Chains A and B, each alone.
Chain A
Amino acid sequence: MYGVGGSGVGGGFNAPSTAAGRRRNQDEDDEEEEDSAEGRVLEAWERAYADDRSWEALQEDESGLLRPIDTKTLVHAQYRRRLLRRSAAAAAARIQKGLIRYLYIVIDLSRAASETDYRPSRMAVVAKHAEAFIREFFDQNPLSHVGLVTIKDGISHRLTDIGGSPESQIKALMGKLECSGDSSLQNALELVHGYLDHVPSYGHKEVLILYSALNTCDPGDIMETIEKCKKSKIRCSVIGLAAEIFVCKHLCEETGGSYTVALDESHFKELLLEHAPPPPAIAEYAAANLIKMGFPQRGAEDLISICSCHKKIKSGAEGYICPRCKVNVCELPTECRTCGLTLVSSPHLARSYHHLFPVAPFDEVSFIPNRGQKGAQNCFGCQQNLFKPGSQSNLHVRCPQCKQHFCLDCDIYIHESLHNCPGCESQRSFSS
C-alpha cells in the first residue's frame, strides 16, 4: 500500500489542502490525497465505481503540477455572485417581492424525459429535486400555494389542485411517474392559465416549467397563448434539461420570468432552488389587498370534537379552533373548510419577514488588522481564527453597518439561512 503517514490527520475538509501542500511535487501521490481526504470510507478505485469524478477536484497550477481545487473559495465566490446579482436587482428600483404566490409546477413526462443522461433518468431526477423544492418552497413561503401539472402524450393533465400542504403534493408526484409521447408547451400553458384565473387578485401567479424535451407539438399558435399569459400577468419560468430552445426563451422574456438550462444534476438542483425565494415582483401584477386571516388557538384539553379535515375524533388540545366558526382543524396554515377563513399562526408570517428585511451583502476584505486589536483576529460569529499564517489569501468579509469581521462560512450561513447579522444584533442602536 501507499504507507500513508499523512492520514493521521483527522477527518473533515481541512485535510486536502494540507496534504496537497506537502505533496505537490508527487503526481502519483494524488491517489493518496484523495484517500486521506475521504477519511477511511472508500478507496479511490472503489469511488470510481461509485461514480465519483475525482479528477474534477484537481486543477493544474502555473507550472503544470496538479493540486486539489480550493473548493471553499470557489463555493464562496459562487455564492457571492448569486447574492450580488439578487441584491443588485432588488436595489435597482424599489421592487417589491411577491410574498403570496400561487405557483404551478409543470413537469414534462414526454419521451424525452426517459433519457438517461441524468441518472437514472431525467424524470427521476426531476421528481427527486421537485420534492426537495416543494419542501423548501413551503418553508420560505408559508402562505403560498403550489399545484402540479404534467405533460404526457401531448396532453397536459392537472395532477394536484393548488393547495397549501406539501405532503399531498409530494405524494401525488411520486405516485405516477411514467413517460411517453410528445410534449406540448401550449397545452400546458392553456391549462395553467385556466386554473390561475381563479386565484385571488392579491396573489402572484407563477408557473415553473421543468422541460426535458427539445421541441413542442402544439395544436395552435403558441405565440397567442404566450400573449394571453402575459395579459393575465402570469410569470412563467423554465428550467431546461436538454438545450436552450427559442420558444422557451421567448416565453420567459415576454412574461418576465427566468430561463435557465441545467448542465448536470447538481446544477439543476441549484437552479431549481433559486426559484424558492420570492422573485422581485412588479407592483402592478398583484393588487394590494387586506386579507382577512384568523389566528387560531389550541382548544381546551377536555374538548372532544371531530376534526374537519380528516373527519376523525380528536381531542381539542391536538388541533386548533377556527375563531370564526369554531370547528377543529388539525394543522396550520390551512383554509377553514367550513367558513373559508385563512388560518395561520404568527410564526408563519414571521417566516416571510426576512424577505422584507434582508441582510446587506458584506464587503470582502483581505487585510490583516493591526496587531493592537486583540479580538479582531477571530471571526465575530464563530470565533474561528481568520488568519492562517501561510495560506494564500486571507479573504474574509466585513459588515458595512457594524464593521465586524466574519469568516466566509459565516457569511454564507448568515445570508442564506440566518438572515440576521450577529454584529448588528449585538449592538444597541443609538436612536430607537
Chain B
Amino acid sequence: MTSSHSKLYSDDVSLVVVVVDTNPFFWAEAALPFANFFEHLVHFVNSILLLNHLNRVVVIAAGVSSCAYIFDSSDATAPGGAGVAATFDKTKHKVKEFIDQDALATKGNSSVDSNNAASLLSGALSLALCYIQRIFRSGTRHPQPRILCLQGSRDGPEQYVAVMNSIFSAQRSMVPIDSCIVGTQDSAFLQQASYITGGVYLKPQELNGLFEYLAAVFATDLHSRTFLRLPKTLGVDFRASCFCHKKTIDMGYVCSVCLSIFCKNQKKCSTCGSEFSRVMPDLNSMPDQSK
C-alpha cells in the first residue's frame, strides 16, 4: 500500500467512489452534452482532492454492456501541476476508450435498443462495494468511504434484485449512496438507495450549473454533513409492484414460497409453480394474542 498509512487520519478524510452513467443512448439526446458534463465532473473530482490531501477518489463508468474503473487517485504519479494535468488527460482518454469499447460490445448485442437500454448500475455498484471492502481491510486507519451515482438513464427493472442486494450490503457496511440525477426522470432505485443508506438524493433543476450543485451538496465529508442542511427527500414510495401487471399496489398477495407479489388471488404461483392449497382467510393473526 502507499506510504499514507503513517499519516494521521482524522474524521473528515473521505474516499468518494463516483459511478458515472455513460449510456450513449441517453447522452445522445441529453440537454447537456457529455463533454461538458465530463468537465463538470473533472472539476468536482479536483475540488474533492483539494479539500484534504488524504482524500481519494475513484471513478467507475457504467455503460450499457460493460463497467470499468476509469480513475483512481491513489495511482496518480507525482503531485504538482504537470502531473495533475497529465493525469486528467489520461482519464479523458480512458473514458473515450471505454465508451468506444462499450459501443462495440453493444452493437453486437441485438437485444439492446434505444427504448430499453438502461446502464448497468448494479454492476458498477458491485464494483464500488468490492473496492470499498478492500479499503476497510487495509487497516484501522482508512478514509470514510461513500458512493456518488451520477445517473441519467432510466432504471432497468431487470436489475432490481441486484441493485437491492448492493443497497443492503452498503447499508450493512454503513456506506452512504448519494445520487445526483442528470436526466429527466427520477430514478426509483436511487431514491430507495439514498433513503436506505442515509445518503443524499438530488435532481438539479439547471444542468448548466452542475458543478455548483455537486460542490455544494456532495463534496462534504460524512462527519461535516451533520452540520449542514442538505436536501432531504420527504418520503420514498416503497410500495411494491405486482409481478403480473407491473402496477404499484397498496395491498397484494405474496407467495409464501418465493415471495412474488400478485395483485389478485390465484391458484398457482407463476414464478415458482407452487399450487396454493386453499384461500387464506384475511385474519392471519394468531387467535391467542392478547392485542
Decide if A and B are genuine partners: yes
A387 to B138, CA, bound (A): 18
B269 proximal to A (CB < 8 A): yes
Chain A positions within 8 Å of B168 at CB level: 347, 350-351
A71 proximal to B (CB < 8 A): no
Q: Scan A340-383; emit 1 where CB is below 8 A from any B CB, else 0.
A: 11100111011111101100000000000000000000011111
A42 proximal to B (CB < 8 A): no
- Whether B196 contacts A383 by the Cβ 8 Å rule is no
Count contacts on A: residues with CB < 8 A to the other chain: 77
Chain A positions within 8 Å of B72 at CB level: 383
B78 proximal to A (CB < 8 A): no
Most buried by A among B109, B251, B256: B256
CB distance from A93 to the nearest CB of B (A): 15
Residue of A297, A382, A410, A425 touching B122 (CB-CB under 8 A): A425
Residue of B161, B169, B265 touching A357 (CB-CB under 8 A): B161
- Whether A323 contacts B250 by the Cβ 8 Å rule is yes
User: A113-121, A225-233, A288-296, A388-396: which one contacts chain B?
Assistant: A288-296
Contact A418 to B129, CB < 8 A, known contacts A288-B276, A349-B261: yes
Chain B positions within 8 Å of A401 at CB level: none
For chain A, what secondary structure do more than half of its interface residues adopt (helix, strand, loop), or is it mixed?
loop
Chain A residue at minimum C-beta to C-beta distance from B121: A425
- Whether B133 contacts A99 by the Cβ 8 Å rule is no
- Whether A346 contacts B238 by the Cβ 8 Å rule is yes
Contact A287 to B138, CB < 8 A, known contacts A295-B252, A347-B196, A428-B109: no
CB distance from A398 to the nearest CB of B (A): 15
- Whether B280 contacts A349 by the Cβ 8 Å rule is no
B77 proximal to A (CB < 8 A): no
Chain B positions within 8 Å of A162 at CB level: 286
- Whether B165 contacts A430 by the Cβ 8 Å rule is no
A189 to B261, CA, bound (A): 35
Contact A290 to B276, CB < 8 A, known contacts A297-B235, A350-B160: yes
CB distance from A162 to the nearest CB of B (A): 8
A417 proximal to B (CB < 8 A): yes
Count contacts on B: residues with CB < 8 A to the other chain: 85
CB distance from A404 to the nearest CB of B (A): 11
Most buried by B among A354, A382, A414: A382
Residue of A198, A382, A384 touching B286 (CB-CB under 8 A): A198
Chain A residue at minimum C-beta to C-beta distance from B111: A432
B258 proximal to A (CB < 8 A): yes
A266 proximal to B (CB < 8 A): no
B164 proximal to A (CB < 8 A): yes
Chain B positions within 8 Å of A324 at CB level: 251
Chain B positions within 8 Å of A337 at CB level: 291
- Whether B286 contacts A291 by the Cβ 8 Å rule is no
Chain B positions within 8 Å of A79 at CB level: none
Chain B positions within 8 Å of A78 at CB level: none
Contact A422 to B127, CB < 8 A, known contacts A295-B249, A413-B133: yes
A427 proximal to B (CB < 8 A): yes
Residue of A294, A339, A356, A428 touching B112 (CB-CB under 8 A): A428
- Whether A290 contacts B254 by the Cβ 8 Å rule is yes
A286 proximal to B (CB < 8 A): yes
Contact A291 to B250, CB < 8 A, known contacts A198-B286, A298-B235, A418-B166: no
B266 proximal to A (CB < 8 A): yes
A161 to B290, CA, bound (A): 11
B26 proximal to A (CB < 8 A): no
Residue of B173, B237, B255, B258 touching A297 (CB-CB under 8 A): B237
A96 to B65, CA, bound (A): 33
Chain A positions within 8 Å of B254 at CB level: 290-293, 349
Chain B positions within 8 Å of A46 at CB level: none
A200 proximal to B (CB < 8 A): yes
Most buried by B among A301, A317, A418, A428: A428
Residue of A12, A382, A417 touching B139 (CB-CB under 8 A): A12
- Whether B1 contacts A10 by the Cβ 8 Å rule is yes
Chain B positions within 8 Å of A400 at CB level: none
- Whether B130 contacts A410 by the Cβ 8 Å rule is yes
Chain A positions within 8 Å of B278 at CB level: 289
B285 proximal to A (CB < 8 A): yes
- Whether A383 contacts B66 by the Cβ 8 Å rule is no
A426 proximal to B (CB < 8 A): yes
Chain A positions within 8 Å of B59 at CB level: none
Chain B positions within 8 Å of A432 at CB level: 111, 158
- A 262-301 contacts with B by CB, 8 A: 286-298, 301
Chain B residue at minimum C-beta to C-beta distance from A288: B274
A395 to B128, CA, bound (A): 23
B64 proximal to A (CB < 8 A): yes
A356 to B64, CA, bound (A): 26
A421 to B289, CA, bound (A): 44
The 6 closest A-B pairs by CB, nearest first: A381-B130, A10-B5, A426-B123, A12-B139, A288-B274, A202-B256
Task: List, sorted by A's number, 5 A–B pairs whose CB atoms are closer than 8 Å.
Answer: A288-B269, A289-B256, A290-B265, A353-B161, A353-B165
- Identify the A interface with B (CB < 8 A): 10-14, 39, 96, 99-100, 139, 143, 161-162, 198-203, 286-298, 301, 317, 323-324, 335, 337, 339-342, 345-347, 349-354, 356-357, 379-384, 409-410, 413-414, 417-422, 425-432
Q: With A288-B276, A417-B169, A417-B173 given, can you name 11 additional A-B contacts, CB distance below 8 Å?
A: A12-B138, A99-B259, A198-B287, A288-B269, A291-B255, A293-B253, A297-B239, A324-B251, A335-B285, A351-B164, A352-B259
